[in-house]
Chains A and B, each alone.
Chain A
Amino acid sequence: MRSRLSPLRIVYGDHRANWRIGLVSAFLTVICLIWIYPFVWMISTSLKSNAEMFSNPGLIPQSWATENYARAWTEAHMGSYFFNTLIVTVGSVVIVTTCTSMLGYVLGRYRFPGRNILFFSFVATVFIPQGFTIIPVFELLSRLGLSSNLFGLTIATSGHAMVIFVVLFAGYFAQLPRELEEAARVDGVSFLKIFWYVMLPLARPMVVTVVIMQVLHAWNDFLLPLVVTLANPAIRTLSVGIYAFKGEQFIDWTGMAAAATISIVPIVVLFMLLQRYFINGLAGAVKG
């Protein structure tokens, strides 16, 4: 709105600006249509029969072959992979949010013996690549007897991503005002209750950010589930499942397009609904 009130605009009007905005909009529209073409192509292919795929290069399917979805869901096991992914995602979100909010709260707001060394350890490991730790992680899971079940996959998925969230939570809790907490303490509210009833609700924007980033991470994760499911294909996640599908049925393009659509629909719907939180959450990560 600022620019509408600028003195130059009041004197000269804004015809020139309108013309330029139109040009920029047209340019961006073209870019964006090209940008999302792969998705349109994928959905369109998932609705064609395998024969039509080769004869009809257009985007509008003629046969509306929904049996591709049935084939992907049952024969390619996308159905069970879908639920595996859901379990891992929900489980790791609960674990990660609980653990990192408490860690971040204590590290961000209190000074106690061992605090600095702990905080520094977390900051220092933020960028450790998965390739560094994958071998010991797999060995640890094997030794605990968790190397080929969903529970093991869930806690390992939680463990890898948590560091950055601890740092984000610590930063957020550190800048909240002291007064509320002190008022509660004077009233005799216990330490744990202050966290649960006073501080955690105040940190809701950061909780939302962490939940969203962890959902993205768990739904997308590849190296860890690939390694963990090598011995037990039944617990594959969607990402690994579709990778295996490609290896086994390379010619079934339409089935794979259907499988791909199945695995992106939930996350895309979630993104559309919570878009504001996604964008603000990610922006918050770079501003901090």
Chain B
Amino acid sequence: MFETLHRYRYHYLMLLPGLILGGMFVFYPIFAACYYAMHDWSGFNSDKVFVGMGNFVKLFTDPIFWDAFQRALIFLLGTVPLQMTISLVLAVLLNNQLLKMSTYFRTMIFLPVVTPVAVIGIIWTFLLSPFNGPVNGLLLDLGLISRPVDFLGSTDTVMPSVIGVYVWKWLGITMIYWLAALQTVPDDVYDSAKLDRCRGAKLVWYIVLPIVLPFAVAITLISAVGALNVFPLIMSMTNGGPFFASEVMEIFIYRTAFATGDGSIPRLGYAAAAGVFFGFVVLSLTIGQAIATRRARAGAKEIRS
């Protein structure tokens, strides 16, 4: 034991700083969150009372929680397919080597990605505002609507609006992933396709897509996990409102733990339980993806050979 420690002393020494950091902010919180989730705990200065699975039982019968969970799923299903398809189309267009301005297009589409989410949220609140907001102004001028639409203030339009802004914000990054995937398609594939007079949409659909499929699974996963962590955007646009109409999982957790608002006591154990459940949903998504990637990779190898 001591001998091993001595033999690998430098290895362990180099691991140390990172392990302390990871231990404090990654590994410890995971176990601590599971521990808190089994306690009734109202505020950081008060005592914890052990309730076992009580919080989870309450959680599963709490309609507000299920609504938040359901909204997170709606958000996921609303954004990911849109983001994946639009960015793929743009990536295929930009991947054309004869397109001289493709770098400029790429930069412009990528711009929202590097902009802080809170700033995006604020700008779009203005743009979508029913009072003098430019989007409403344009729609009124075009005669598409007769009076301003309160995009973020009405329960019917808030989710589609937030979904739209989210797709705009993150599309650039998905497009970069697609471009990276398209670059792995070997040149001779295009050349032989050209000889067979296979071009345009047919080329993309029958030849390029099957090759980039393994990447599609990874990109979908990254986008899906991103779509579940939408806290900052929704917080800065609507605070989860109006009437909880855009409250997703993390806003539920934040509100229960830190900002009860109406003066009621914070329920930290309950919020931790919601967090743990949310974490397991994400984890199962990840595992499902790992299996899917392995299968897709095996499939793509057959096509290529």
Say whether B146 faces chain A, with CB atoms less than 8 Å apart. Answer: no
Residue of B nearest to A8 (CB): B194
Say whether B123 faces chain A, with CB atoms less than 8 Å apart. Answer: yes
Instruction: State which of B75-83, B125-133, B154-162, B295-303 sits at the interface with chain A.
Output: B125-133
Q: Could you say which residues of chain B place their CB within 8 Å of the CB of A88?
A: none
Name the one of A100, A113, A253 contacting B4, with C-beta atoms under 8 angstroms.
A113
Cβ contact within 8 Å between A243 and B118: yes
How far in angstroms is the closest Cβ of chain A from B82?
15
* Contact flag A263-B119 (CB < 8 Å), given A2-B187, A286-B215: yes
Cβ contact within 8 Å between A239 and B279: no
Q: Could you say which residues of chain B place their CB within 8 Å of the CB of A257?
A: 123, 126
How far in angstroms is the closest Cβ of chain A from B64?
16
Say whether A74 faces chain B, with CB atoms less than 8 Å apart. Answer: no
Say whether A206 faces chain B, with CB atoms less than 8 Å apart. Answer: no
* Contact flag A102-B17 (CB < 8 Å), given A129-B228, A192-B10, A246-B236: yes
Say whether A271 faces chain B, with CB atoms less than 8 Å apart. Answer: yes
Cβ contact within 8 Å between B11 and A110: yes
Name the one of B21, B29, B278 contacting A95, with C-beta atoms under 8 angstroms.
B21
List residues 25-60 of chain B with CB under 8 A from any CB of chain A. Answer: 25-30, 32-33, 36, 44
Q: Could you say which residues of chain B place their CB within 8 Å of the CB of A166?
A: 18, 22
What does DSSP make chain B's interface, helix, strand, loop or mixed? helix
How far in angstroms is the closest Cβ of chain B from A256?
6
Residue of A nearest to B25 (CB): A159
* Contact flag A103-B117 (CB < 8 Å), given A140-B28, A287-B180: no
How far in angstroms is the closest Cβ of chain A from B132?
6
Q: What 0/1 pattern do residues 95 to 123 of A give for CB contact below 8 A with B?
A: 10011101101110010110000100110
Say whether B245 faces chain A, with CB atoms less than 8 Å apart. Answer: no
* Contact flag A246-B115 (CB < 8 Å), given A2-B187, A129-B250: no
Say whether A3 faces chain B, with CB atoms less than 8 Å apart. Answer: yes
Residue of B nearest to A100 (CB): B18
Cβ contact within 8 Å between B180 and A140: no
Say whether B93 faces chain A, with CB atoms less than 8 Å apart. Answer: yes
Cβ contact within 8 Å between A42 and B109: no
Name the one of A54, A132, A284 contacting B33, with C-beta atoms under 8 angstroms.
A132
- Cα of A110 to Cα of B11 in the assembled complex, Å: 8
Say whether A264 faces chain B, with CB atoms less than 8 Å apart. Answer: yes
Q: Could you say which residues of chain A place their CB within 8 Å of the CB of B96?
A: 21, 24
Q: How many interface residues does chain A have, given as a range? A: 35 or more
Say whether B244 faces chain A, with CB atoms less than 8 Å apart. Answer: no
Q: Could you say which residues of chain A place their CB within 8 Å of the CB of B276?
A: 132
Say whether A207 faces chain B, with CB atoms less than 8 Å apart. Answer: no
Q: Could you say which residues of chain B place their CB within 8 Å of the CB of A223?
A: 231-232, 250, 254
Q: What 0/1 pattern do residues 183 to 206 of B give for CB contact below 8 A with A?
A: 110010011001100000000000
Name the one of A57, A110, A135 contacting B272, with C-beta atoms under 8 angstroms.
A135
Name the one of B17, B104, B124 contacting A98, with C-beta atoms under 8 angstroms.
B17
Cβ contact within 8 Å between B235 and A243: yes
Question: Count the B residues whose beta carbon is within 8 Å of the partner chain — how many?
Answer: 102
Cβ contact within 8 Å between A54 and B132: yes
- Cα of A42 to Cα of B126 in the assembled complex, Å: 9
How many cross-chain pairs have Cβ atoms below 8 Å apart between A and B?
298
* Contact flag A128-B97 (CB < 8 Å), given A28-B105, A135-B275, A222-B117: no
Q: Could you say which residues of chain B place their CB within 8 Å of the CB of A132?
A: 29-30, 33, 275-276, 278-279, 282
Q: Could you say which residues of chain B place their CB within 8 Å of the CB of A282?
A: 173, 176-177, 180
Say whether B14 faces chain A, with CB atoms less than 8 Å apart. Answer: yes
Say whether B24 faces chain A, with CB atoms less than 8 Å apart. Answer: yes
Q: What 0/1 pattern do residues 161 to 172 of A give for CB contact below 8 A with B?
A: 011001000000
Q: Could you say which residues of chain B place their CB within 8 Å of the CB of A32?
A: 104-105, 108-109
Can you list 28 contacts pairing A with B, beta carbon distance less than 8 Å?
A2-B190, A28-B101, A31-B90, A35-B108, A35-B168, A39-B111, A39-B115, A41-B126, A102-B17, A105-B14, A112-B8, A132-B282, A133-B26, A135-B32, A159-B24, A160-B25, A192-B13, A223-B254, A239-B116, A239-B118, A239-B232, A242-B119, A243-B122, A263-B116, A264-B115, A268-B111, A283-B179, A283-B180
List of 6 A-B pairs having minimum Cβ-Cβ separation, nearest first? A159-B25, A283-B180, A222-B232, A136-B32, A133-B29, A103-B18
B interface, CB within 8 angstroms of A = 4, 8, 10-15, 17-19, 21-22, 24-30, 32-33, 36, 44, 90, 93-94, 96-101, 104-112, 114-127, 132, 134, 137, 168, 173, 176-177, 179-181, 183-184, 187, 190-191, 194-195, 215, 218-219, 222, 225, 228-229, 231-232, 235-236, 249-250, 253-254, 257-258, 268, 271-272, 274-276, 278-279, 282-283, 285-286
